[in-house]
Amino acid sequence: MDKRLFASLVVVLNLLLLMNSVFSQTQSLDTFSTLEEEIILLERNEISNIGSNRHTKPEKERVVVINRMDLDDYEKILEDDYIEVYYWDKNASIRVLNKVNGYIWGGLPSEKPSDMNVTWSGIGNSLVSIDYYDQAGIERKTSIAANNVKREYVVNGNTIFFSVNFTQLGISFDFSVELNDGSLIFRLDSDSIQETGKYMLGSVYFVPFFGSVRADEIDGYIFIPDGPGALIRFDKPFKYLSNFEKRVYGKDFAIDHLFEVNDLKVSRPNDFATEEKSVLMPIFGVVHGPKQNGLFARITSGEEYAAIVATPAGVLTNYNWVSAKFIYRQKYLQPTTRSGAGVQIVQQNRNHFDPEIRYYFLSGDDADYVGMAKVYRNMLYEEGVLARQERIDSQIPLKIGILGSDIEKGFIFNNLKVITSLKQAEEIVTSLNSEDISNLTVVMKGWQEGGLNGSKTSKFAFEEKLGEKDAFLEFSDFVDQQGGRFYFYENPVAVNQFQIDLRKEGGHSLSQDLIKIQRDNDYIWIKDTYLVKINLVADYLENKAELYKSNGMKNMAVDEVGFKLYAENQRGDVVTRDQARVMLEETAKNIVNNLENLALYTPNQYFWRYSSEIFHLPMVNSQYIYETDTVPFIQIVLKGSIDYYAPYSNMGFYSPTDILRLIEYGAYPSFVLTALTNDELKYTAISDSYYSTYYEHWLDVIVSTYNTINNVLSKFEGKQIVDRTVLKEGVVKVDYEGDVSIIVNYTNYDYFFENDVVPALGYLIV
């Protein structure tokens, strides 16, 4: 019985074998087309890019701007070699005459324009305007031109001293206007502020409508420091939802934490928006006719409590205006339930600071954003913030961020995943070296014990699974010997609950709760980010720098601290925002003594003095629909003084127009790489943030991107930018010192310049 079964089985199987071999076919592989031929087709839509506000528009044909303001009813009150200041006491307004070209600057063209009501006319004309709160928290605006304001002034030398008293509100204070070497300085004496009534002072604006333009009556623009720099060209009124208001040096997370509900009501996660760029420099400007007349304003004191406010025509008024808002009090969210819902209430105590803002009057070649950038650059040189200390290399540097290790979600416990071992990192460096790229800025992230998102912020230890200290130092020396620099990455600011003891080390907001940044996405593992107490941030950094020195570690790359400036508001332990800034500056000054190089990511202007290199400099503005252009203001200021790098190219910045932008803005390329493919990373904490980092996939792109940019920018190492012109939509010429220029062509047709051709999606050095 068994035997028969066995035999039949054998027969059947053999039959199957036979059948299969009879019916199987072979098929030859077709050859597939090469991709290179298709590249042009694939990038054909890039030309749509140039009409957007990520690029700069060409200036229209020059029309001479004539004075729209007159000096009737005004009396001269101050004068020096450069400007004359006129004043009319009826509405406490000033006019400024630029002696160089006779242009008159002021608020509104008349005392009460037909399209403005009395309150706004007062705000538009007068020297000072305020926002104030009543007991119920309702915010209102008024100015010193209003009826019930008592004003007194006295001129003393080059300064007008004012005392104002809003009698109905019970608010009074003193301020001054000083004429100093062709510039006007507005100051408010905070000690003189008195609030005797039921009203509380909210914010103060100096000459809010200075340089404002009605609709598109003049060809010109407002310049705001959004990202690298943005222009709002004067245009007809349009009903925008809101204006531009951003705090200088970014939000103060210890009090600013109001975000709108972003509910998309779909199965996709709700955190769809990319981060808006922050204001890195406390400046703004207005141009009436490019290369004709310009205003440049710089906040010189109290910028930690200031916001840049720019309003295009159509939002509340038909005027385009820009001003600085000095915030004494603001509203914040006091949560009363566990889910975070609560009441918005007004700050009880005023912020302590003394506002000071300076206005400079520009004309001729200085009167555009390039001129402003050069003016600002000179100021920073004179103050010692910047110096001609860019490292001059024969080949441009290439930044490679390497992810070493991170925590991974396990079945019961979390474990540590090695993402790129030191050996693999060495392989990456060697393969780049073999392609003749040796000037590498290597940043090792996740080298600490616990990985990138699991390491304790207060501790200093190497992750053993990657290697011992000596292995790291060996790798560091290896990179240095090849001609590069090796940085250890630090993030002492933004952490998750695994990294700090929340009660002791977490920063608190004014509501006494921990500062928590939540991502509205149910699919990711770690949704909440906490901020470390700001004084601890300073301490940890200083301790770490000392440990670096004693351990022979040379370079530190610090993330987050450059652009996150926040107070500590736990009762009894308060550090104000300006104290925090002083603290961080002091720390930076101390740690550079222990380090060879300190690099910062997207640093605010006060850190530039201490930075050897700047990582992740913004290249595009926040793209509000009223912004008409992106301009490389910050790049013009920094080029020739510090090496700066663009955001990671492999995270959405690798197209040909992006590479051209790097060339145009003088920025060096950067990439973030791992030795694992991204689906192998899907259970780690960083899986949602990086989409494509596997180095074998990117090696070719890195080499070709580097070579393209290096061919150009290696010739411009250490040179300053002298001018920038948009020859035609999509064709930009950047002039450097030494009489050499780059012309970049973002369009897909050739551009003829003098006797040369700038190829489509290409560049030309002249």
Q: How far is the CB of 586 from other proteins (least distance, A)?
A: 24
* Minimum separation from the CB atom of position 1 to other proteins (A): 14
Q: What is the nearest approach in angstroms of other proteins to the Cβ of residue 48?
A: 4
Tell me whether residue 39 or residue 154 sits nearer to other proteins (CB atom). Answer: 39
Q: Which is nearer to other proteins, 78 or 675 (CB)?
A: 675
Q: Are 218 and 295 in contact (CB under 8 A)?
A: no
Residue 383 or 522: the one with the smaller Cβ distance to other proteins is 522
Give the nearer residue to other proteins in terms of CB position, either 72 or 260. 260
* Of 58, 125, 71, residue with least CA distance to 97: 71
- Determine the 3-state secondary structure of 675 from DSSP: coil
Whether the Cβ atoms of residue 567 and residue 525 lie closer than 8 Å to each other: no
What minimum distance in Å lies between the beta carbon of 7 and other proteins?
A: 11
Cβ of residue 500: shortest distance to other proteins, in angstroms? 16
Q: Which is nearer to other proteins, 33 or 481 (CB)?
A: 33
What letter does residue 454 receive in the DSSP assignment?
A: T
Tell me how long the chain is: 766
- Unique residue bearing structure tokens 């408010």: 188
Closest distance to other proteins from the beta carbon of 416 (Å): 16
Tokens of 55: 């690029």
User: Which one, of 305, 312, 304, lies nearest residue 224 by Cα?
Assistant: 312
Contact 488, 447 (CB under 8 A): yes
- Which residue lies nearer to other proteins by CB, 91 or 604? 604
CB 268, min distance to other proteins, A: 5
Nearest to other proteins of 182, 335 (CB atom): 335
Q: Which is nearer to other proteins, 387 or 517 (CB)?
A: 517
Element (H, E) at 598: strand 597-601
- Cβ atoms of 232 and 222 closer than 8 Å: yes
**Quick one: 237 or 484, whose CB is closer to other proteins?**
237
Q: How far is the CB of 494 from other proteins (least distance, A)?
A: 7
For other proteins, give the closer residue by CB, 154 or 264: 264
Q: How far is the CB of 259 from other proteins (least distance, A)?
A: 4
Q: How far is the CB of 72 from other proteins (least distance, A)?
A: 35
Which candidate, 391, 396, 491, 398, places its Cα nearest to that of 442? 398
Contact 618, 610 (CB under 8 A): no
Strand 306-311 to strand 319-327: parallel, antiparallel, or no bridges (unpaired)?
Answer: antiparallel
Nearer to other proteins, 360 or 690 (CB): 690
Dihedral sign (CA 211, 256, 193, 534)? negative
Distance CA 248, CA 252 (A): 9
Q: What angle do CA 573, 575, 580 make, to 5 degrees?
A: 150
The residues, any chain, with a CB within 8 Å of residue 720's CB and separated by 6 or more, are 377, 639, 640, 641, 736, 737
3-state DSSP call for residue 397? coil
Q: Whole-angstrom Cα distance, residue 364 to residue 585?
A: 37
User: What beta strand segments (E) does 29-92 contain?
Assistant: 75-79, 83-88
Closer by beta carbon to other proteins, 175 or else 690? 690
Minimum gap (Å) between residue 262 Cβ and other proteins: 6
The SS3 call for residue 90 is: coil
CA distances 96 to 27, 210, 219, Å, are: 84, 10, 20
Nearest distance from residue 351's CB to other proteins, in Å? 20
Specify the DSSP element, H or E, that contains 732: strand 731-736
Q: What is the DSSP letter of 674?
A: B
